[in-house]
Chain A
Amino acid sequence: MSIEVLGISKRFGSSVAVDDVTFSVPTGSLTALLGPSGGGKSTVLRIIAGLEVPDTGSVWIDDEDVTNQPARARGIGFCFQHYAPFRHMTVYENVAFGLRVRRRPKAEVDARVRELLSLVRLDGFAGRYPSQLSGGQRQRMALARALAVQPKVLLLDEPFGALDAQVRKELRLWLRELHDTMHVTTVLVTHDQEEAMEVADEIAVIRDGHLEQSGSPAECYDKPATPFVLTFLGPATRLDGDWVRPHDLEVRREALPGSRRAVVERVTRLGFEVRLDLALDDGSTTWAQLARRDADALALSPGDTVHIEHVASTVS
């Protein structure tokens, strides 16, 4: 069940939310729409879902033009950032909702709901109300609810945005596992590049309504198409006017041909990594990222002189 988005644009009043965005989502993949807040990625997702109507362009789901179809006819599953639970219904009734709309027989509804609750590990919670659940549990319920009707595609709008860091990490791994089991074409909107890199097969970077780049996480990271993608997807710093990755800077005590002299200004230990703030001869500053082992081997302290060399391809 692939998704094709062709040349869609959308304005709200005088502001342009989405400007001529085109990309495709292969069947069975997990694609992340990544970008800064307010960049238009949620709008794109909602256009795919049918919750917004684009001003121009078309949306194709499973090789069918669904641009003029309402949300309920598209066979999609949607999860909201704040879960949108049906607060007056129990967890069971929430998950059963889509099936009851379709007038499925009671036994079938019951079996499917139990199966899904087990899948999302909310087995004992069937009789509870959403207000009695934690944030993570509510989102799992929302996912079960969306999956109940066996959607062709699953659309997630910053599903972990409202959760705290630890729960977010656990749930995103769990989502990946779920996807590997169920293989539903999934589109995930997030502003967290770490989340996108960890979970997605494909990334589409969207900023200010424009698609900056789409490709696999490795492609986007190693071969960024624009400076924005470079700085957004991972740590970046400038060396001689070029953008480089701090972990691509090799730091040595001794000088070698091709290396630059720098003075260590600050050493910051960040658990596994060590960050070195460096001042170059020409007055500019940059920073390098080393593994702890390497940093310990060098035994650096502020004021030491080192020699740095960039050891990978760069983008200007």
Chain B
Amino acid sequence: MRVLALRPADADEAAEASELLLTGGTLRPASSGRRPARTRASLGSSAFKWLLRLFGICYVGLLVGVPVGSVVWRALSPGLASAVDAVTSSAGLHALWLTLEVTALAVACNTVFGLGVALILARRRFPGASVLEALIDLPLSLSPVVVGLALLLFWSSTQGWARLVVVRLGFEVLFSFPGIVLASAFISLPYVVREVLPVLVEIGTEQEQAAHTLGAGSFYTFGRITLPSIRWGLAYGVVLTAARVLGEFGAVSVVSGDVVGRTQTLTLYVNSLFQNYDYPGAYAGALLLALISLCLLGLLSLSRRRRAVT
């Protein structure tokens, strides 16, 4: 392999040379002109790239595409009308409505909390910050069933302030709406923080300082400067949270008691249909869940592309 002495005009050729080196090609003399070099090795590498892409697509297709596709097929094969019927039963509608309410509330709580925590963690390092970060990531690694059990144990205890809330204030937590919201909020805790925190750290505080020197107070600065700067990261985190809450099964099934028409979310509803051998109904319910997820996915990809740009 010949080594060329580099002159500024040779920059293109130098780039070409390093590309060839990486793919195991040979260096052609400069006199061969500026055609892209096509050696046997580089052709081989492009075939390899295509093979990899094909493998990737097949993997995702088999793992995700085929099962979801078959659910859609099964749900619609008895006809669209019967699928709609199965989902719009009173239990089904209640499950849908409950799920949407829980999602809205859990997302709202975690958005506010997530923003607050991200701001605290991004601004100044304080003792215990890393502990807080670890705690926030806990719901990711903890099994949802464990979460449900933990809540069950805590709120059914006969002493302590849990009892205070339940007995004195008459506020039912277990086997009712608040419990479901609590469980849902717990398991979807990290997403907003994890999406917003790196964006906040990357932007830094200079824009906010500039706003302060121009006379803006803290709230004005937050609303006009901070929030718009992180809006796409925040949107992404919010949609992730919603998707997670929507699909939650384990924790909610333990905490809610799975009472039809009262504490049964959409996922629990689909499961109960399945357990009772109502397969068409189960598939229809699953299709509905998949459709909602698809919408969220659309929102996700919209904000994913924009969130790195501030």
Inside 8 A of B310's CB, which chain A residues have their CB?
A: 87-88
Give the chain A neighbours of B210 by CB distance below 8 A: 78, 80, 84, 86, 142, 145
The answer to whether A84 and B207 touch across the interface, beta carbons within 8 angstroms, is: yes
Q: Across the interface, do A49 and B207 meet the contact criterion of CB distance under 8 Å?
A: no
Q: A88 vs B310: C-alpha distance in the bound complex, in angstroms?
A: 7
Contact partner, B213, options A51, A85, A102, Cβ 8 Å: A51
Collect the chain A residues with CB atoms within 8 Å of residue B220's CB.
101
The smallest beta-carbon distance between A135 and chain B, in angstroms, is 15
Looking across the interface, which residue of chain A has its beta carbon closest to that of B203?
A87
- CB-defined contacts of B217 to chain A, threshold 8 Å: 72
Q: Which residues of A contact B206 (CB under 8 A)?
A: 80, 82, 84
For chain A, which range describes its interface: under 10, 10 to 19, 20 to 34, or 35 or more residues? 20 to 34
Interface code B210-226, partner A: CB below 8 Å = 1, 0 otherwise? Answer: 11111111001000110
**CA–CA, A39 to B35, complex, Å?**
54
Bitwise, B188-215 to A at CB < 8 A (1) or not (0) is 0000000000000000001101111111
Q: B219 to nearest A CB, angstroms?
A: 12
Contact with A along B102-113 (1 / 0, CB 8 A): 000000000000
**In the bound complex, CA of A25 to CA of B128 (Å):** 43
Q: Is the pair B209, A72 in contact by a Cβ cutoff of 8 Å?
A: no
Contact B225 A72 (CB under 8 A): no
Q: What sequence of 0s and 1s flags, for each residue 62-91 of chain A, a beta carbon within 8 Å of any chain B beta carbon?
A: 000000001110001110101011111000
Are the CB atoms of B214 and A98 closer together than 8 Å? Answer: yes
Q: Are B215 and A49 in contact (CB under 8 A)?
A: no
CB B150 to nearest CB in A, in angstroms, measures 40
CA of A76 to CA of B211 in the docked complex: distance in angstroms?
Answer: 12
Closest CB in chain A relative to B11 CB, distance in Å: 20
Q: In the complex, are the beta carbons of B229 and A76 less than 8 A apart?
A: no
Taking the closest CB of chain A, its distance from the CB of B269, in whole angstroms, is 42
Chain A residue contacts of B207, Cβ below 8 A:
84-87
Bound together, the chains give a CA A241 to CA B106 distance in angstroms of 76
CA–CA, A71 and B225, complex, Å:
17
Complexed CA–CA distance, A251 and B59 (Å): 81
Alpha-carbon distance A82/B217, docked complex (angstroms): 22
| CB of B228 within 8 Å of the partner chain | yes
**In the bound complex, do residue B229 and residue A88 qualify as a contact, i.e. CB atoms below 8 Å apart?**
yes
- Complex Cα distance, B207 from A188, in Å, reads 20
Q: Is A97 an interface residue (CB 8 A)?
A: yes
Which residues of B234-292 have CB atoms within 8 Å of chain A's CB atoms? Answer: none
Closest Cβ neighbor of B231 among chain A residues: A88
Contacts A51-B209, A82-B206, A84-B209 hold; do A101 and B214 have CB atoms under 8 A apart? Answer: yes
Chain B binding site: helix, strand, loop or mixed by DSSP?
helix
Q: Which residues of B contact A87 (CB under 8 A)?
A: 207, 229, 310
Bound state CA distance, A97 and B212, in angstroms?
Answer: 11
Residues of B within 8 A of A77 (CB): 213
- Determine the distance from Cα of A300 to Cα of B206 in the docked complex, in whole angstroms: 54
- Residues from chain A with a CB closer than 8 A to the CB of B229 are 87-88
CB distance from B223 to the nearest CB of A (A): 12
Residues of B within 8 A of A97 (CB): 211, 214, 216, 224
Residue A196 interfacial (CB < 8 Å): no
Shortest Cβ gap from A210 to chain B (Å): 26
CB distance from B92 to the nearest CB of A (A): 43
Which residues of A have CB within 8 Å of B216?
72, 97, 101
List of B residues within 8 angstroms of A142 by Cβ: 210
* A82 to chain B: closest residue by CB: B206
Residues of chain B lying within 8 A (CB to CB) of residue A102? 215
Complex Cα distance A50/B216, Å? 14
B213 adjacent to A86 (CB under 8 Å): no
Give A142 to B206 CA distance when docked, in angstroms.
Answer: 12
Among A71, A88, A98, which residue has its beta carbon within 8 angstroms of that of B209?
A: A71
Chain B residue with the shortest CB-CB distance to A94? B210
Minimal beta-carbon separation of B163 from chain A (angstroms):
46
Beta-carbon nearest neighbor of A51 in chain B:
B209
A149 near B214: Cβ-Cβ < 8 Å: yes
Instruction: Take A82-B206, A87-B207 as given contacts and tell me if A72 and B228 are in contact as well, using a CB distance cutoff of 8 Å.
Output: no
**B206, B215, B224, B225: most-surrounded residue (chain A CB, <10 A):** B215
B214 CB contacts on chain A under 8 angstroms = 72, 97-98, 101, 145-146, 148-149
| Smallest beta-carbon distance B200→chain A, Å | 14
Complex Cα spacing A288 to B213, Å: 47
What 0/1 pattern do residues 188 to 228 of A give for CB contact below 8 A with B?
00000000000000000000000000000000000000000
Instruction: State A142–B210 Cα separation when bound (angstroms).
Output: 9
Cross-chain contact B213 with A76 (CB below 8 angstroms): yes
Closest to B207 in A: A84
9 tightest CB-CB pairs across the interface, nearest first?
A98-B214, A84-B206, A78-B213, A84-B210, A88-B228, A71-B212, A72-B215, A101-B215, A101-B216
A–B pairs, 15, beta carbons within 8 Å: A72-B213, A72-B214, A72-B215, A78-B209, A78-B213, A85-B207, A86-B225, A87-B310, A88-B228, A97-B214, A102-B215, A142-B210, A146-B214, A148-B214, A149-B215
Q: Could you tell me which A residues sit within 8 Å of B by CB distance?
A: 49-51, 70-72, 76-78, 80, 82, 84-88, 97-98, 101-102, 142, 145-146, 148-149
Given A76-B213, A85-B207, 4 more A-B residue pairs with CB atoms under 8 Å apart are A87-B229, A88-B229, A97-B224, A102-B215
